[in-house]
């Protein structure tokens, strides 16, 4: 966030969640779930630049930090590429998995702190999940009610 202010570039955050992960874990076992998570992480990393960050932050959630983004459309394009890469079939011990990924996208605004940016990306992810998952949703401050 500090470097963003110095360089004049923007920081985008993508909050990603593997759809129906529990069904894979419960139906095919934890080894299948682990294989799905490893494959998802590798697929996400294959799309982003070396200067970007991919981190698993929870059971089936990943956060991608895109550094040096110029426009929101750049972040949307990368999110779409991640969505496509992550949705490729995966074979595991004779089973075909058809992974789906929901992604929330936001771009840091002047004066925002890290927690606010992550919350915005998470809110966009929640909107993607609420709309049925397997999609990319960009954070829209006008559609979020906060107390």
CATH number of the domain to which 37 belongs: 3.30.70.270
What's the pLDDT score for residue 79? 98
What's the pLDDT score for residue 68? 87
Domain membership of residue 99 (yes or no) is yes
Residue numbers in the chain where pLDDT is lower than 50: 147
Cα–Cα dist 9/6, whole Å? 8
Domain membership of residue 54 (yes or no) is yes
Candidate list 17, 60, 122, 123, residue with the active-site label: 60
Clarify whether 60 is annotated catalytic: yes
Cα–Cα dist 138/124, whole Å? 6
Domain membership of residue 110 (yes or no) is yes
User: 3-class SS at 22?
Assistant: helix
71 burial level (CB within 10 Å; 0-12, 13-18, 19+): exposed
What's the pLDDT score for residue 7? 65
Q: pTM of the predicted model, to two decimals? A: 0.92
Torsion, Cα 144 99 41 125, to 10 degrees, reads 0
What's the pLDDT score for residue 5? 56
User: 3-class SS at 8?
Assistant: coil
Domain that holds residue 101: 2-141
Domain membership of residue 124 (yes or no) is yes
């Amino acid at each position: 966030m500090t470097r963003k202010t110095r360089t004049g570039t923007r920081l985008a955050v993508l909050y990603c969640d593997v759809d129906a992960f529990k069904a894979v874990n419960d139906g095919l076992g934890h080894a299948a779930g682990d294989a799905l998570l490893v494959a998802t992480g590798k697929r996400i990393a294959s799309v982003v630049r070396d200067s970007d960050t991919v981190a698993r932050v929870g059971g089936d959630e990943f956060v991608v930090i895109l550094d040096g983004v110029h426009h929101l459309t750049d972040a949307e394009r990368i999110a779409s590429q991640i969505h496509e890469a992550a949705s490729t079939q995966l074979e595991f011990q004779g089973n075909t998995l058809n992974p789906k990924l929901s992604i929330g996208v936001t771009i840091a605004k002047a004066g925002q702190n890290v927690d606010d940016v992550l919350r915005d990306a998470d809110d966009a992810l929640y909107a993607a999940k609420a709309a049925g998952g397997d999609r990319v949703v960009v954070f829209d401050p006008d559609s979020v009610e906060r107390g």
